[in-house]
Structure 1
Amino acid sequence: MRLIAALLLALIMPLAAAAQSPTDDAAIRAAIERQLEAFSSDDGAAAWSYAAPSIQQRFPTPDAFMALVEQAYPPVYRSRSHSFGDLAQTPLGLAQRVEIVDGDGVAWDALYTVEEQPDGSWKITGCYLAKKAGVTA
């Protein structure tokens, strides 16, 4: 799975930034930021609320969603810090690059895929992680 994530991250490197409005860029970053904050404070309902309907269907309760994230995405679940990179159109759809430093000081590249909802909000459809080789903070 990490190999797949690394390949996906490598694929978007040369892609141009997505042509989104500054308002959309800010809304996408805010959704990711708020979900990371919700993970840090163990607020499952808030974290789950930023997941797209397709994710909510697969994990129909906030507790089920939090259990998945805690087990499969520990750098996201307990990040020490993060910074936003480019927003790009990818084969997976619109994706926001985020550099995450986990609780142990290890740096990760995260690729968050997002989709706009009928109400104009942005929801997270996936997160792909790749550990940065030899990088600690």
Structure 2
Amino acid sequence: MKDIIFDDFQNAVNESLLRHTSILDIITKLQESNGRINRAIAKSVTDCGCIKICAEKQNLPSEKDYMDMSQLRNCLKSHVDGKLCLNCREIMENEIGNNLFYLASLCNTLNLNVYDILLREYNKINTLGKYSFR
């Protein structure tokens, strides 16, 4: 069932894209979309203030201090404090939606299937588990 949703989305993108059919248009629109996501995050911090970025060096244990993966996960931080407000959340969802649109468009142009790519990545994560390290 889920593959049908992805395929329907990818087909809808293909049918609705008229102006930006060149691969150059698509990749630059995808890059612009990435920038808009970054801008929306920055605005959530600087204009709204619903989240804060409190970044500092990640303190990893030394090699002599052996830790298992669950302990290591507790050492690493996202550097985000707070939670997106409803307005910022809606903006982020819209920007990420636009990004997905151009990503699907890129896949269409290169004759790739979004669902197949997602499934391959999902299987890789499940096979490698916590050892996929990204």
> What TM-score, normalized to structure 1?
0.26
Which is bigger in relative contact order (C-alpha 8 A, separation at least 6)?
Answer: 2
* Structure ID, larger Rg: 2
- Quick check: which one's helix share is greater? 2
- Quick check: which one's strand share is greater? 1
